[in-house]
Amino acid sequence: MLNCRDVAHEASDYLDQNLSWWRRLLFRLHLFVCAKCRKFVAHVHITRDFLRRRGPLRASDQEIEQVMQNVKPSAPDQS
Ligand SMILES: [Zn+2]
Q: What does the pLDDT profile of the chain (79 residues) look like in tens digits?
A: 899 999 999 999 999 999 999 999 999 999 999 999 999 999 999 999 998 888 877 888 998 888 888 876 655 565 5
Count the domains in the chain.
1
Cα 16 to middle of ligand 1, angstroms: 19
Is residue 60, in this structure, part of any structural domain at all?
Answer: no
Cα 15 to middle of ligand 1, angstroms: 16
Cα 62 to middle of ligand 1, angstroms: 44
According to the model, what pLDDT value does residue 74 have?
57
18: containing domain: 4-55
Q: How far is CA 27 from CA 47, 49, 59, 62, in A?
A: 20, 20, 38, 46
According to the model, what pLDDT value does residue 76 have?
58
Is residue 29, in this structure, part of any structural domain at all?
Answer: yes
According to the model, what pLDDT value does residue 56 have?
79
Cα 73 to middle of ligand 1, angstroms: 44
Cα 52 to middle of ligand 1, angstroms: 26
According to the model, what pLDDT value does residue 78 have?
57
